[in-house]
Structure 1
Amino acid sequence: MNQPNCGRAIFNFSQRLSVMLYRMFVTLLTLAFLWSALLPEVALAQTTAPPAPTSKTPTSIQPYLDRVIKQLTEFRLDNGLKFIVLERHQAPVVSFLTYADVGGVDEPDGKTGVAHFLEHLAFKGTKRIGTKDYNAEKPLLDRLEQLDTQIRAAKAAGKTEELAKLQAEFDRVELQATKLSKQNEMGQIVEQAGGVGLNANTSTEATRYFYSFPANKLELWMSLESERFLEPVLSRDFYKEKEVILEERRLRVENSPIGLMIEKFIDAAYKVHPYRRPVIGYDQDIRNLTPDDVQKFFNNYYVPSNLAIAIVGDVNPNEVKRLAQIYFGRFPAKTKAVQPIPTEPPQAQTREVTVELPSQPWYLEGYHRPAVTHPDNAVYEIIAGLLSNGRTSRLYKSLVEQKRLALAAQGFSGFPGDKYPNLMLFYALTAPGHTVDELAAGLRTEIDKLKTEPVTDAELQRVKTQARADLLRTLDSNMGMAQQLLEYEVKTGSWRNLFKQLDEIAAVTAADVQRVAKASFTAENRTIGKLLSKQG
């Protein structure tokens, strides 16, 4: 994500055990990861095992938590907006992350992709930023929306001559509007002030906006970020951005065999829960979205009580609170809209989807599991680590090294999100000369071992040690800490659960692994996806 409004969510798979960071679908979110499995880096990840635990290995992360508590301040403005501020004075830099508790699952039927579309438009500016003359620009933006409605009607009625005239006027008005806009002015302001990493991502459950500044630019960030969500102009460059998103979907889904496979697989795994829908949206839904659709979605969900902000770095929490009240206190309190989320019924039999495309064959297998707040969440994370975490994992050693059935074989827990009951997903890319059915048998063998053979203490401890190391590496950066604090604050009710999770992982036993494996890895709970190579 090198461009600020590219809208592609980030998956940090190396931390799959220890944190629920960025469990996003956005279809392309997961697709990007699966594509990366084609590269040697994925198959060769974690080339060395974590160090074996010693008697000096700490059994609790409590000392680390105690230090964080001393440096952390949290407060909520009167309008409901939550702030978490963590002081880190090692360098004069600060990372900022704004977390909107809204994603693909909250979209109305027929409006898929609106959350991701909004994320793109949030970089287009406000009534003061991104425009040369908003009073002159606004009538043109309104006229474009009117013309778009008329163009749709003309297309539906087959009025070719009228359609050509309307399109010509649309192009003329759009050119006028473009001349009044200042392209990427927000990005330029940030860059000129020394800011880095301006970006955002959308997932099934959240939208995140983030970048970092020198410590002396705290007030500039307050000004820019508060105005961005106080008076955004969501119709600016709307139709150009729609084409960008449609091209994004074509690249990541229609023109990608594994992209199409994932979309069909998740649709088979879920029947009623909105996890079944791609976060980027369906093609026809994206085409039919209007500026009014995006504005209504913004009005419903981008309310103070549904936003949370983490600020980590060289800051004074008292100054942060003073400025937050000045800038973000301007937001009127408002009740968040509630989109009912249907409960996915238990799966009663194996589901299977097969796709034939010009592609190297892939095999996917998923099992339903409970949400991140379930008491067994840590057990599922351990299982994911045992089977999938690097070259020492069971799937890599068995399917890639020993049997040579696969070029890559991995899995992870929390697909396509983890706020609600989700999937543990396994996948494998076939090696030349082998079939997906061979992969299915090999994968099933390793899964069944978890049900019939207790995990050894040494193997269990290795995975726990790796989980601890992964988390601490993540928390070493200001942005990593900001991301994790908000993920746990919003999804589990407290940022403290970020540290509690690691103690829960440490407490997992071999009996827990066997118990959960027996309950979850059943034929009735299984969804299978086969991407077969289409012949000539």
Structure 2
Amino acid sequence: MNKLCQWIFNLRFWIWDCFNGLQRGVPNLQFQKVSVTCCRRLFVALLASMVFCWGLHPGVALAQTQTISPASSIQPYLDRVIKELTEFRLDNGLKFIVLERHKAPVVSFLTYADVGGVDEPDGKTGVAHFLEHLAFKGTTRIGTEDYKTEKPLLERLDKLDAQIQAAKADGKKDEVARLEAEFKQVESQAGKLVKQNELGRIVEQAGGVGLNATTSSEATRYFYSFPANKLELWMSLESERFLDPVIRREFYKERDVILEERRMRVENSPIGAMLEKFIDTAYKVHPYRRPVIGYDKDIRNLTPEDVQKFYDAYYVPNNLAIAIVGDVNPAEVKKLAQTYFGRYQAKVKATAKIPTEPQQKQTREVTLQLPAQPLYFEGYHRPSVTHPDNAVYEIIGSLLSDGRTSRLYKSLVDKQRLALNAQGFSGFPGDKYANLMLFYAVTAPGRTVDELAIALDQEIQKLKTEPVSAVELERVKTQARADLLRSLTSNSGMAQQLLEYEVKTGSWRNLFKELDEIAAVTPGDIQRVAKATFTPENRTIGKLLSKQE
């Protein structure tokens, strides 16, 4: 879970929020630098912007607050966190985790909705991501000049849109033209009543930074940071945002924005198109196979009623969790939380019926020929983040893929010069459910994807037949430990990790247990898991071949 959190998403944000910030008018985020080479950063950033279509686990870091030595004992740090952490649940079921850090007068906030792409009904893909966009449009009081005047116009737009779709289905071109003209007129009237990005302006004027959100296969996360004296302002804004959202405001404009996102990330991107085909090949029934951004047809057919129904089902108190990390007083947080979030009515959360992916029994393969640099993908099914062998999979991923010292890079890039880059990670497209270990490599000039496949297989076979040396294993463990601890040095990074483990594993304490589990991995564990996982029948292959235009 943590490898993706620490660099894939930081790089994804770097690209994606440039686009989202322009669309929403949200202040630019500040991101923690990632210590990777320029070449690796460029390629992985490009790939990461594509894998966002399926959503992964974000790991943002805004402000460094302390440094933790990977060689030091974790126990004193864990003891300090336990001492400084307060958790409580409101009567309506909403969970809060509060961690005091008084080194700087800043606070990071993260609202975690335990709902994502996997929870969407068939034919409604993209609704979770759509709702995330609309959460920035305001409420009946924020984002509008006069909601009483705006509301009937928004309702009229819904009726016109339904009439337009019906007229198109009946082939009534003249009727469609008339209705579309009226739609534009009403939309213009409604638009004049909108206070564009008022939420963002309030946050920015109060000294807030990093206002944004992400949707993944499994969760939707809303986050920003404030000066410590703006705690009550955050309570007011964030509670109002989900207590009284206006789903219809600029709904149709935002639908066009999302369709353009999809065109950029999939239709007009060879890597995006390849990933969509690859994941659809690797999964047959589990909703991981669907892109979080949604399919084009589904996005076009989504209505405000669809989004509202999804919101009503999943944005309920006991399906939300909030982390607050920084210069705060837990007693004050609890008092304000009861005042503002205690207004939420307790409801039974919806539970999506997630089908279990059947065991794969033979190699699957998909090939696309597009005008692009040839690229090779190879994925293997693995269990979820709660499985006892999760740390072993993380170590295997590090051995093969963690930077220039990894086996894949040294073999495929440095020694054999088959690839310009060779990487991979565990936990694609998510890790809440059984997922994939994904490896990928971009061909060097004059080389082929078939040569990459052979070389990759040789490195994988070594894990099964040759015990990892004590020196190499210790190096990888130290790096994995450092990566995890580094993600906790910022308030926002800590908030993110605490909630990931709290929601997905049942307790934030499992975040620190993972360090012990990493330390306990043996060469025998690696061989055992490699033999069970890296088999031909458990493999999915993807080949992106170059097509001359």
* TM-score normalised by length of structure 2: 0.89
Write out aligned runs for 1:329-340 (5 A): 329-340=342-353
Distance 1:472 1:528 in 2: 34
Residues 1:455 and 2:468 are matched in the alignment = yes
After superposition, the C-alpha distances for 1:403-449 in whole angstroms (9 at most, x for unaligned) are 00000100000000000000000000000000000000000000000
After superposition, the C-alpha distances for 1:443-494 in whole angstroms (9 at most, x for unaligned) are 0000000000000000000011001111121111000000000000000000
Give the aligned partner of residue 123 of structure 1. 136
Q: What is the total number of aligned residue pairs between the two structures?
A: 505
Give the aligned partner of residue 476 of structure 1. 489
Give the aligned partner of residue 121 of structure 2. 108
Residues 1:319 and 2:336 are matched in the alignment = no
Residues 1:411 and 2:424 are matched in the alignment = yes
Distance 2:280 2:31 in 1: 21
Task: Indicate if the aligned counterparts of 1:28 and 1:259 stay in contact, CA closer than 8 A.
Answer: no
- Where 2:536 maps in the other structure, the secondary structure is coil
Task: Indicate if the aligned counterparts of 2:167 and 2:175 stay in contact, CA closer than 8 A.
Answer: yes
Give the aligned partner of residue 172 of structure 2. 159
Distance 1:244 1:10 in 2: 24
Write out aligned runs for 1:516-531 (5 A): 516-531=529-544
Residues 1:147 and 2:167 are matched in the alignment = no
Residues 1:362 and 2:375 are matched in the alignment = yes
Give the aligned partner of residue 187 of structure 2. 174
Write out aligned runs for 1:424-435 (5 A): 424-435=437-448
Distance 2:74 2:284 in 1: 40
| Structure 1 unaligned spans of 5+ | 17-26, 35-51
Give the aligned partner of residue 398 of structure 1. 411
- Where 2:93 maps in the other structure, the secondary structure is coil
Give the aligned partner of residue 66 of structure 1. 79
Give how far 1:29 is off: 4.9
Q: Which residue among 226, 236, 241 is the counterpart of 1:213?
A: 226
Distance 1:179 1:463 in 2: 57
Distance 1:453 1:14 in 2: 32
Give the aligned partner of residue 216 of structure 2. 203
Distance 2:480 2:53 in 1: 20
Residues 1:31 and 2:55 are matched in the alignment = no
After superposition, the C-alpha distances for 1:168-224 in whole angstroms (9 at most, x for unaligned) are 000000000000110100000000000000000000000000000000000000000
After superposition, the C-alpha distances for 1:1-60 in whole angstroms (9 at most, x for unaligned) are 1445779x99999799xxxxxxxxxx97553699xxxxxxxxxxxxxxxxx99xxx44x5
Give the aligned partner of residue 507 of structure 2. 494
- Where 2:284 maps in the other structure, the secondary structure is coil
Distance 1:446 1:12 in 2: 32
Give the aligned partner of residue 275 of structure 2. 262
Give how far 1:535 is off: 3.2
Give the aligned partner of residue 40 of structure 2. none
Amino acid at match of 1:104: G
Q: Give percent identity, aligned residues only.
A: 78
After superposition, the C-alpha distances for 1:381-424 in whole angstroms (9 at most, x for unaligned) are 00000000010000000000000000010000000000000000
Amino acid at match of 2:51: L
Distance 1:132 1:525 in 2: 57
Write out aligned runs for 1:9-28 (5 A): none
- Where 1:524 maps in the other structure, the secondary structure is helix
Distance 2:379 2:189 in 1: 51
Q: Which residue among 253, 264, 271 is the counterpart of 1:251?
A: 264
Distance 2:383 2:88 in 1: 31
Give the aligned partner of residue 534 of structure 1. 547
Residues 1:444 and 2:464 are matched in the alignment = no
Amino acid at match of 2:480: A
Give the aligned partner of residue 298 of structure 2. 285
Distance 1:201 1:296 in 2: 20
Distance 1:30 1:84 in 2: 32
Distance 2:31 2:356 in 1: 25
Give the aligned partner of residue 388 of structure 2. 375
CA distance 1:15–1:338, change in 2 (3 Å): farther
Distance 2:93 2:49 in 1: 30
Task: Indicate if the aligned counterparts of 2:401 and 2:423 stay in contact, CA closer than 8 A.
Answer: yes
Distance 2:359 2:110 in 1: 36
Distance 1:12 1:90 in 2: 18
CA distance 1:239–1:438, change in 2 (3 Å): same
Amino acid at match of 1:99: Y
Distance 2:206 2:31 in 1: 29
Q: Which residue among 174, 189, 192 is the counterpart of 2:202?
A: 189
Give the aligned partner of residue 240 of structure 2. 227
Distance 1:11 1:514 in 2: 37
Distance 2:81 2:174 in 1: 67
Distance 2:307 2:32 in 1: 28
Residues 1:77 and 2:97 are matched in the alignment = no
Amino acid at match of 1:170: F
Amino acid at match of 2:274: M
* TM-score normalised by length of structure 1: 0.91
Give the aligned partner of residue 342 of structure 1. 355
Distance 1:271 1:283 in 2: 20
Amino acid at match of 1:323: L
Task: Indicate if the aligned counterparts of 1:351 and 1:527 stay in contact, CA closer than 8 A.
Answer: yes
Distance 1:143 1:230 in 2: 24
CA distance 1:337–1:324, change in 2 (3 Å): same
Give how far 1:502 is off: 1.0
Task: Indicate if the aligned counterparts of 1:130 and 1:185 stay in contact, CA closer than 8 A.
Answer: yes
Give the aligned partner of residue 101 of structure 2. 88
Task: Indicate if the aligned counterparts of 1:348 and 1:525 stay in contact, CA closer than 8 A.
Answer: yes
After superposition, the C-alpha distances for 1:220-279 in whole angstroms (9 at most, x for unaligned) are 000000000001001100000000000000000000001000000000000000000000
Task: Indicate if the aligned counterparts of 2:404 and 2:410 stay in contact, CA closer than 8 A.
Answer: yes
Task: Indicate if the aligned counterparts of 1:83 and 1:309 stay in contact, CA closer than 8 A.
Answer: yes
Distance 1:32 1:70 in 2: 36
Distance 1:64 1:492 in 2: 21
- Where 1:271 maps in the other structure, the secondary structure is coil
After superposition, the C-alpha distances for 1:262-313 in whole angstroms (9 at most, x for unaligned) are 0000000000000000000000000000000000000000000000000000
Amino acid at match of 1:533: S
Q: Which residue among 286, 310, 315 is the counterpart of 1:302?
A: 315
Give how far 1:61 is off: 1.7
Give how far 1:339 is off: 1.2
CA distance 1:465–1:28, change in 2 (3 Å): closer
CA distance 1:148–1:160, change in 2 (3 Å): same
Distance 1:298 1:472 in 2: 35
- Where 2:426 maps in the other structure, the secondary structure is strand
Distance 1:517 1:262 in 2: 24
